[in-house]
Amino acid sequence: MEKDHLNEIFNYVHRTHFPGRLRKVKAEFYRSRSLRHTVDWNAFRIRARISNIFKNAPVYIIEALALMLLSRVYRLRVDAQAKTIYRSYVNQLNIAGKSYKLSYAPDGTYFNLETLFNQLNQTRFSSTLRVSVIGWSKRKSYTRLGFYDKHRNLIVISKIFDNPQVPLNVLQYLIFHEMLHIQYPEEIRYGRRRIHTAAFRDAEKNFPGYDKIQEWIKTNLRRL
């Protein structure tokens, strides 16, 4: 992630969650061996310094971190979901001295994600999509069911779905959803970022059994 993109995300979160606040926001990466992030401010500006270990973090992680740091500035309670999302990601980082590693395996106990990706790629995308890695999350997550990281070109699905109770079409849909992020990249219009564009939503709803799948997830998610 480049510095300008980091700034863009922080300013987007500032506008969205703290409307009417007039401070200028500047965010930058700094070289660090730890996951320590800092924020300082005065009446006119906010400056956030983010550990460069997070340079390859997905956008939604940076958004959660931005919300946490900016909430500190305005002395507001930190959003619980943002903390959960951030901590879940941090727990997946294996820190070893100056380096860190994120590794995901496609082969689960019941499902192989790479096989399903290849099948969907052939039937739904004419085999045009490419990912470097697709794998199961390290820990069970009920708040982030999956994500696509464009910077590392990887797809991760929550390991809660590596379960014999999960219908195959539900897992296929979750992978398909993340594949759509490759097909329909995020857009920025009038200073606002849109992850799920109209074209994205239309394609998603055309997935066979979309409504029933949504209902199944809503009803059964916490039972997994």
Neighbours of 216 (CB within 10 A): 16
Q: Scan for tokens 């965010």, then name that residue.
A: 27
Q: Where are the domains of the chain?
A: 3-95, 113-223
CA neighbor of 62 nearest in space, from 25, 99, 104: 25
CATH number of 3-95: 3.30.2010
Name the CATH superfamily, with its identifier, for domain 113-223. Metalloproteases ("zincins"), catalytic domain (3.30.2010.10)
Q: Which residue has the higher pLDDT, 166 or 100?
A: 166
The structure's pTM equals: 0.60
Identical fold for domains 3-95 and 113-223, yes or no, is: yes
Which residues sit opposite 95 in a β-bridge? 100
pLDDT in tens, 52-94: 888 888 888 999 999 999 999 999 988 888 888 888 888 776 5
- Please say if the pLDDT value at position 111 is more than 90: yes
Q: If you average pLDDT over residues 8-34, what whole number do you get?
A: 90
Nearest to 117 by CA among 174, 34, 73, 79: 174
Report, as an integer, the average pLDDT of 136-165.
Answer: 90
Secondary structure (3-state) at 189: strand
Contact 137, 91 (CB under 8 A): no
